[in-house]
Structure formats: structure tokens, C-alpha cells
């Protein structure tokens, strides 16, 4: 393959007219394909259908505490749910509190609480002139939406293949007291699928923040969401790492079963130090009498334990793997060597991240849409929706069928090629 | 019956020694009885057991929107859940948004949002020097806990038998811009079981608040929680009343199925004007992708419609009615005419409110505890846990069995008598 930049203007123009013909053909088919959302497919949801029967009217609805799960009681999660999610999170069960159906809601509440009540006795953030968060980019749009909603200034930190640029993180966190947090998806990151290296996690644990109420928001959304049996990323457990470095209170770790059982009907948890959890429970007992214990029990009974859950995740992987490979194979087959884009082959998670030539992402997404393929809006992976290079595109291969994905991937690479040729032609003419 | 105050010192002393003997006898039985919590009994929970089977693995899990309830989507509640809870709330379904498992959490979030983001564009309350709420007393401790948690100053407003003292409410709300809300349980109020009269509701709807971000927090927790078929309280629908008076945005109305289906595993809703809901949804979409749609579907399918729910509430009433009557009959039989306490015979809700002689409530609760009966702590029905007259005691008859209740009520009246005699003797001697 010759890189597009090395083709002559004539060659590019002729290639363009070929590709335009191809594009017109697929466009004429009026397809409707969606690669925009990190949404499990129906086949994945079917894996958990047993959960609908596990708590029947004949079932024992008492949890291990001896409490009737149908009634009030047990503020911070039933024992069996704590065991399951603490194993999932690799933390002692004393360090976990179970919440409602969504870790996003839990992260929102965590920031909201810090705004009005500070962090373990610190000044409420709403009383400060300026609060800032570090945002490794590309990252998760809903994280950025939370901090933006609260008027928190977001600072981009570039991702490397080992995680966020830790030189920059260390420098900023240690020098600026207004920096109160950093959003991390440390394993199979959204959208790149990068897992933070041992060195990165150790450097996180050794941070010396200027702000004593600085917290690492460790959203371990894809902790057991591997695509392969034999190639799995390993992530150092951050709570223990922070404790070992004398920073036990510096991290909040989040997880949920949204992409294990049912999105929206799962259970979520926060893992943190005893001191952090004490502050959290103090607010929690004002906010609620307790979360849905029947749903906690449903999850605990269905999976049995972490081994059951890991088995279950293998079935998810079997469904997801061919979809990822369909997209990745298409990217490799069609784009390798053309130097008009780069991507990473993730070993887990829900996304593939594509970086186009600078200034092309929005145009590519728009082009794909012309032919009926919906992508996550370009820019969504950056704070304020602004990708300074306009190059990152998140691909979500989980929901469509493999056949739909093959179609969608083809349209995507066609769009990449066409937009890239225009850019290169523009430069050559300019 | 002779009023205790009209008895001579000798008579009182002799009565006291008889009662002390009786008390010593029940105390020796080492009972453990609990009238402290507004918690449905097991028999009530059993009424909803069909809900555990209504969504089996064989069920159709799509809601009326055509969305798979197992997956992401539908931010503000599925259509059938909106229909059910809007009928329950007597509002158009366009005016309702479904939330998670608890209306308390929803009320907390509503105050929290006002703290950080204001109300429909007003200054965030955390930026104001002073925020105040009116609190009809006696009232619900968890309401007061929320406002206290956010540092909101609470002003007691006495309850009358028609609802809060509206002269005082009108005067304060129209003159003080820092008053941003009032907590109301307008039907079968907690703890008195009073339903606001038509006149009271009309005066609420006609309020002319100094603060444009003043809202009535209308916690209609017991809207369909009648005890009798033939004696039911009627409450004017507040949203419509406010609209008619040109104050459409002045009220948030809350409800939940916590005491219809399962406490902690129910569904909750807020009803409000279009403009209010627009502001709420704006924040809601940052906080969550959506609440538990499977649980919404479970409720909608199990009750079918409001008629099914009303039928269901009759079964609750059949269980609750004899319990209320056991306590009320005991109070009447044992205390009527003694002039050492007063109470109201409620037609619904979860509580009986008892007013002792001034300065006796804490002592009565302590006395009952000596004999193994746990009551809600005296003072809990007032902001900051401070009952200025130390006279109100909340009785929760729902959870114990009728036999336990008969025992507990007897111990309670014994405690009332003993503590009252001490007080009267003290006065006569003083």
C-alpha cells in the first residue's frame, strides 16, 4: 500500500472518483446502521435472562443479614452483593458500598456531594472560586458532562499507550490546589481500550496533590470485560497501591454490572478507604433509606460468586470478539499503510478509537452519516465536545449484528478515505 | 373518668403505686416490641409477591415505546409507568417523570440540584447567604434531615386540623425572599394523619412568594393509602390548583410505590409543570442514562392500571385497619377524659400522633423502652430533633402483629400515665 500523501494529485483524483462511485452505491442502499453507543446487543442481554427467574414468588427473599429484602433496611448493601462486587473490584468487602442501578449516577452524586459538602471535611467546592479536573483525552463524554455541569474547569491530559501523561499529571496535581480530581477509565479505557501500565498506576498512587481533597475518580467500568481468554490486560489494584504509598484516601473506585447483567437494571458500587466511606455514608443516610435490595439479591443469587461472573463474562466475550475483529480487520485490510488514520487493537472494553488525519473527524462522521451509519459525534471524546485536532472518532461495535458491522465498517473506511483525499488534495493544491 | 389534674395528691400517689406494680409485671416479661418505624408488615409485603413472577424469562420485556427494557434508553420513565404513577398522582402523564426506587432520594436530589444550580435559572442556593424552609410541625424527620444537611434554616409552622397555619405561611412566604420551600405531607400527614382542607390547598395555590424560586414540596406519600372504604379523605390536586391561580411552577409533587409494592424496591416519581420538568430533565440527563426500566415494567404489568392499584390498596387497608384500631381503641379506653394526652383518629397513612402533657414526651418514650417497647425518639417529628414543648410522640402501628400491638399499646399508655402523674405531682408539690 502506498501512503495517500505519497500519491500524485492525478492518482488521488482518480482514486477519489472510484471511491465516490462505491460510496454512491452504498448510499443508494439506504442503510441504517448505528456504531454510536456502547450498548450490549440482544444476544448479550439474553445471557442474563436467568436473572428474571432467580427471585420468584417461591424464593427465599432474606439476605444473609437475615433481613427481608422486600422491606426497608440495610443502607449500604446486602452482604452477598458486597461480596460479589468487592471481588469484582478486587477490594476487601469492608471497603465497598453498594448503590443503585448506575455507576454514572454514583459518580455524579460523588461530585455533587463534594460541591455542597466538600470531601471529608474540606471546604465545599461551591464555596471556592475555581475547581478543576484533569481529563485524560480521548475519554468518556459522560464524565466530562458531569464536571461541565458543575462548572468545573477541565484540563486535557493526553493519553499515551500506558495511560495518561503522568509527567503532566504529577506536575499539575502537585502545583495547583484547585485541581480536585482526575477522571480515569484505567482498564480497557473508553474509547481507546488502553489499560494503565504498572508504572502509571504506581505513579498515580505516589501523587502528592496540593489539594488534600484531590481524588482519583477510578471508573473501573470494564474491569472484567475481556475479549480474549489468552490475552488479558492486567491492572494493579489502586486502593491497595494508594494505601501502600501512604495515600489511602486519595481514590474513589467505581464499578457496576451495567455491562454484565442489564444496562439500567444492574447494581453499582463505590470502593474507597474507611475514612472516605464514612463520609459517604453520612450523606447517603440523608439521601436514601436504601437502594434496591431485591435487585442486589437477584444479582448475588444469579452469579453466585465472582467465578460465576467471570464465566458469564466469557460468554459476553464470545459475542463481542467477532464484532471487534470484524471492524478491526476491515480497518487493517482497508487502511493499513495509507497513513490516513491510526487505531489500537483493544483486548477488552466496548470501544475502538480511531484517529484520522487532523481536521477530518467531523467530516468523516458526517460522511458516514450520509450513507446511513451513525457514529458517536466527533469531539464527544473531549471536554466541552472540542477535539483540538478534530481527529478522534469512537467506534462502538457492540450493538449491531456482525453482518451490519461489516457493512458499517466498510462505509466508515470509505468515508475516511474520501475525506482524507480531500484534505491531502487541499494541501497539495494549497 | 376524672382528669388527673383534678385528683388529689393522695389519689395520684395511690394510683401511681398501682400503675408501678402493673409496669413491673410487664417489664418482667422482657418483651421486645417496636412501634418506631413506618414499615409495612410481612403480610402486606406478601400482597405483592405476584410482582416477583410477572417478568419471567418468558415475558415480553419491551415497553410500549418498543424499547427493550433490559437495555439503555428512555431517560424519564417508560410510558406504562408514567401512566400508572400519573393516575396515582392525579396529574396528566406529560407532567410526570419517573425516578429510581425512592421518593426520598428524589426529594434529596431536588434540593441538591437547587443548591448547585438554582431553580429554573435562579441563583444557586449555595451562593446565597441564607436559605430557609418552612416546616409544618410535627412532620417527617427525613424531610428535616435533608434541609438540615444542606444548612438550610428551618422555621416551624404549627399544624392545625386543616393543615399548616396558613396565616403564618402566607405572611412568611410573601415577606421573606430567603424562604425557598415548604415541606408538606398533605394527605394523611406524617405523623398526624391530617389531610389538608380545600381551603388550605387553595391558599397554598394562591401564595405570592417573595422568592421566585420558592417551591412547595408536596410529598404525597399516602395519596392512596386509605384505611377505610367509606371514610376517605379528599385532597384537592395541587398542580391544577396552582395552575388555575397563575402559579403553575410553584409546586413539586412527589410520590412512590414504597408502601404499595416493596419499600426500597418500588418506583418513585415527580410531578410538576412543563417548565419545571424541563429544568429537571436537563440535570437528570447528566446524572443518569436512565433508571431501572425493568422495575418500572414490573410495576406496570403487576398493577395493570390505577384500578388494579386501588384494589391492591384495599388489601393493605384490611391488614392495617385493625392495627390502627387496636392502638386507637386502647388510647381511648385508657386515656380518654384523663386530660394527659390527645390524639387524632386518622383515616389513612402510616402513623398516629400523640401529644402528651408538655415536657413529658421524652420521659414517656424512655419509660416505654424500659418495658421493651421501642418508639420513634421524641423530638424526631421536629426540625433539629427539638420539640419545643417536648410533647409529640409518633406511633407507628404497621409492622408489629395485632397481638404485639395490643401489648405495646398497653405499655405505652401505662408509660403515659406514670410520667404524667409525676409531672402533675411535681406541679402540685411545686
**What is the pLDDT, as a whole number, of residue B34?**
92
Rounded Cα distance, A247 and A204, in Å: 10
- For residue range B246-266, list pLDDT tens digits in order: 999 999 999 999 999 999 999
Is the confidence at residue B430, as pLDDT, over 80? no
- For residue range A97-142, list pLDDT tens digits in order: 999 999 999 999 999 999 999 999 999 999 999 999 999 999 999 9
The answer to whether the CB atoms of A264 and B57 lie below 8 A apart is no
Distance of CA B303 to the CA centre of its chain: 23
| Residues A235 and A384 placed together within one structural domain of the fold | no
All residues of chain B having their beta carbon less than 8 Å from the beta carbon of residue A100 are 100-101, 292
**What is the pLDDT, as a whole number, of residue B397?**
96
In percent, how much of chain B has pLDDT > 90?
Answer: 98
The domain of A154 spans 61-304
User: Could you tell me how many CB contacts below 8 A there are between chain A and chain B?
Assistant: 158
All residues of chain A having their beta carbon less than 8 Å from the beta carbon of residue B126 are 115-116, 124, 126-127
- Report the residue from A101, A115, A283 with minimal CB separation from B292: A101
| Residues B122 and B187 placed together within one structural domain of the fold | yes
Predicted structure pTM score: 0.97
**What is the pLDDT, as a whole number, of residue A429?**
83
ipTM above 0.90, yes or no: yes
**What is the pLDDT, as a whole number, of residue A430?**
72
The answer to whether the CB atoms of B69 and A265 lie below 8 A apart is yes
* pLDDT values of chain A reduced to their tens digit, one per residue, 430 residues: 799 999 999 999 999 999 999 999 999 999 999 999 999 999 999 999 999 999 999 999 999 999 999 999 999 999 999 999 999 999 999 999 999 999 999 999 999 999 999 999 999 999 999 999 999 999 999 999 999 999 999 999 999 999 999 999 999 999 999 999 999 999 999 999 999 999 999 999 999 999 999 999 999 999 999 999 999 999 999 999 999 999 999 999 999 999 999 999 999 999 999 999 999 999 999 999 999 999 999 999 999 999 999 999 999 999 999 999 999 999 999 999 999 999 999 999 999 999 999 999 999 999 999 999 999 999 999 999 999 999 999 999 999 998 899 999 999 999 999 999 999 999 988 7
The answer to whether the CB atoms of B72 and A291 lie below 8 A apart is no
Alpha-carbon distance values, A323 to A32, A251, A348, A392 (Å): 17, 34, 12, 20
- Tell me whether residue A94 is in a domain: yes
| Residues B288 and B367 placed together within one structural domain of the fold | no
Q: How many CB atoms lie within 10 A of CB B18?
A: 11
| Residues B292 and B344 placed together within one structural domain of the fold | no
- Tell me whether residue B50 is in a domain: no
A194 burial via Cβ count (<10 Å: 0-12, 13-18, 19+): buried
**What is the pLDDT, as a whole number, of residue B98?**
98
**What is the pLDDT, as a whole number, of residue A356?**
98
- Most B CBs within 10 Å: which of A41, A42, A52, A129, as the mutation test of the B interface? A52
- Nearest residue of chain B to residue A152 (CA atoms): B116
| Residues B233 and B359 placed together within one structural domain of the fold | no
- Most B CBs within 10 Å: which of A69, A105, A152, as the mutation test of the B interface? A105
A156 forms bridges with which residues in the sheet? A135
- For residue range B257-293, list pLDDT tens digits in order: 999 999 999 999 999 999 999 999 999 999 999 999 9
- Tell me whether residue B51 is in a domain: no
CB-CB contact of A340 with A371 (8 Å)? no
All residues of chain B having their beta carbon less than 8 Å from the beta carbon of residue A267 are none
All residues of chain A having their beta carbon less than 8 Å from the beta carbon of residue B69 are 264-265
All residues of chain B having their beta carbon less than 8 Å from the beta carbon of residue A265 are 69-70, 292-295
| Residues A228 and A374 placed together within one structural domain of the fold | no
- Most A CBs within 10 Å: which of B41, B48, B52, as the mutation test of the A interface? B52
- Tell me whether residue B39 is in a domain: yes
| Residues A357 and A259 placed together within one structural domain of the fold | no
| Residues B122 and B36 placed together within one structural domain of the fold | no
Is the confidence at residue B1, as pLDDT, over 90? no
CATH number of the structural domain spanning residue A107 = 3.40.640.10
All residues of chain A having their beta carbon less than 8 Å from the beta carbon of residue B65 are none
- Nearest residue of chain B to residue A284 (CA atoms): B105
The answer to whether the CB atoms of A39 and B71 lie below 8 A apart is yes
All residues of chain A having their beta carbon less than 8 Å from the beta carbon of residue B56 are 52-53, 56
Last residue of a domain, one of B304, B326, B355: B304
Last residue of a domain, one of A304, A334, A369: A304
- Using the 8-state DSSP alphabet, how is residue A335 labeled? H
| Residues B338 and B422 placed together within one structural domain of the fold | yes
Average pLDDT rounded to a whole number, residues B92-121? 97
- Tell me whether residue B318 is in a domain: yes
Chain A nearest CA to B14, separation (Å): 44
- For residue range B314-355, list pLDDT tens digits in order: 999 999 999 999 999 999 999 999 999 999 999 999 999 999
**What is the pLDDT, as a whole number, of residue B152?**
98
| Residues A225 and A112 placed together within one structural domain of the fold | yes
Chain B nearest CA to A392, separation (Å): 23
Is the confidence at residue B182, as pLDDT, over 90? yes
- If DSSP states are collapsed to H, E and C, what string results for chain B? CCCHHHCCHHHHHHHHHHHHHHHHHHHHCCCCEEECCCCCCHHHHHCCCCHHHHCCCCCCCECCCCCECCCCCCCCCCHHHHHHHHHHHCCCHHHEEECCCCHHHHHHHHHHHHHHHCCCCCCCHHHCCCCEEEEEECCCHHHHHHHHHCCCEEEEEEEEECEECHHHHHHHHHHCCCEEEEEECCCCCCCCCCCCCHHHHHHHHCCCCCCCCCEEEEECCCCCCECCCCCCCCCCCHHHHHHHCCCCCCEEEEEECCCCCCCCCCCEEEECCHHHHHHHHHHHHHHCCCCCHHHHHHHHHHHCCHHHHHHHHHHHHHHHHHHHHHHHHHHHHHHCCCCCEEECCCCECCCEEEEECCCCHHHHHHHHHHCCEEECCCCCCCHHHCCCCCCEEEECCCCCCHHHHHHHHHHHHHHHHHHHHHHHHHHHHC
Is the confidence at residue B370, as pLDDT, over 80? yes
CATH number of the structural domain spanning residue A22 = 3.90.1150.10
Last residue of a domain, one of A244, A279, A304: A304
All residues of chain A having their beta carbon less than 8 Å from the beta carbon of residue B61 are 52
Average pLDDT rounded to a whole number, residues B64-92? 97
Distance of CA A405 to the CA centre of its chain: 21
- Report the residue from B49, B116, B149 with minimal CB separation from A57: B49
**What is the pLDDT, as a whole number, of residue B429?**
83
Number of domains chain A is built from:
2
Amino acid at each position: 500500500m502506498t501512503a495517500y500523501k505519497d500519491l500524485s494529485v492525478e492518482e488521488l483524483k482518480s482514486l477519489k472518483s472510484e471511491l465516490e462511485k462505491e460510496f454512491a452505491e452504498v448510499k443508494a442502499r439506504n442503510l441504517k446502521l448505528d456504531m454510536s453507543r456502547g450498548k450490549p446487543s440482544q444476544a448479550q442481554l439474553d445471557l442474563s435472562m436467568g436473572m428474571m427467574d432467580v427471585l420468584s414468588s417461591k424464593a427465599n427473599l432474606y439476605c444473609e443479614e437475615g433481613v427481608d429484602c422486600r422491606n426497608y433496611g440495610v443502607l449500604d448493601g446486602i452482604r452477598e452483593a458486597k461480596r460479589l462486587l468487592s471481588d469484582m473490584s478486587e477490594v476487601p468487602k469492608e471497603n465497598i458500598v453498594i448503590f443503585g442501578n448506575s455507576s454514572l449516577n454514583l459518580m455524579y452524586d460523588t461530585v455533587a456531594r463534594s460541591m455542597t459538602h466538600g470531601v471529608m471535611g474540606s471546604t465545599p467546592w461551591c464555596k471556592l472560586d475555581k475547581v478543576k479536573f484533569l481529563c485524560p483525552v480521548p475519554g468518556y463524554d459522560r464524565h466530562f458532562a458531569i464536571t461541565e455541569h458543575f462548572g468545573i474547569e477541565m484540563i486535557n491530559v493526553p493519553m499515551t499507550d500506558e495511560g495518561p501523561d503522568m509527567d503532566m499529571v504529577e506536575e499539575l496535581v502537585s502545583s495547583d490546589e484547585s485541581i480536585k480530581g482526575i477522571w480515569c477509565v484505567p482498564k480497557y479505557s473508553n474509547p481507546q481500550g488502553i489499560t494503565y501500565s504498572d508504572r502509571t498506576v504506581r505513579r498515580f498512587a505516589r501523587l502528592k496533590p496540593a489539594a488534600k481533597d484531590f481524588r482519583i475518580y477510578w471508573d473501573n467500568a470494564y474491569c472484567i470485560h475481556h475479549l480474549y481468554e489468552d490475552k488479558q490486560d492486567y491492572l494493579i489494584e489502586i486502593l491497595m497501591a494508594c494505601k501502600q504509598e501512604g495515600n489511602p484516601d486519595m481514590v474513589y473506585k467505581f464499578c457496576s454490572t451495567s455491562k454484565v447483567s442489564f444496562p439500567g437494571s444492574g447494581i453499582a458500587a463505590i470502593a474507597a478507604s474507611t475514612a472516605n466511606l464514612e463520609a459517604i455514608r453520612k450523606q447517603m443516610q440523608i439521601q436514601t433509606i436504601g437502594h434496591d435490595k431485591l435487585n442486589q439479591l437477584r444479582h448475588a443469587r444469579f452469579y453466585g460468586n465472582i467465578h460465576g461472573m467471570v464465566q458469564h463474562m466469557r460468554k459476553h466475550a464470545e459475542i463481542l470478539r467477532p464484532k471487534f475483529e470484524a471492524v478491526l480487520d476491515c480497518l487493517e485490510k482497508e487502511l493499513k499503510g495509507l497513513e490516513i488514520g491510526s487505531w489500537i487493537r483493544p483486548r477488552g472494553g466496548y470501544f475502538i478509537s480511531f484517529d484520522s488525519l487532523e481536521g477530518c473527524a467531523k467530516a468523516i462522521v458526517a460522511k458516514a452519516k450520509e450513507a446511513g451509519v451513525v457514529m458517536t459525534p466527533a469531539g464527544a471524546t473531549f471536554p466541552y465536545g472540542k477535539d483540538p485536532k478534530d481527529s478522534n472518532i469512537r467506534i462502538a461495535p457492540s450493538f449491531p449484528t456482525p453482518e451490519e458491522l461489516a457493512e458499517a465498517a466498510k462505509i466508515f473506511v470509505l468515508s475516511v478515505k474520501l475525506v482524507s483525499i480531500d484534505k491531502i488534495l487541499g494541501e497539495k493544491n494549497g
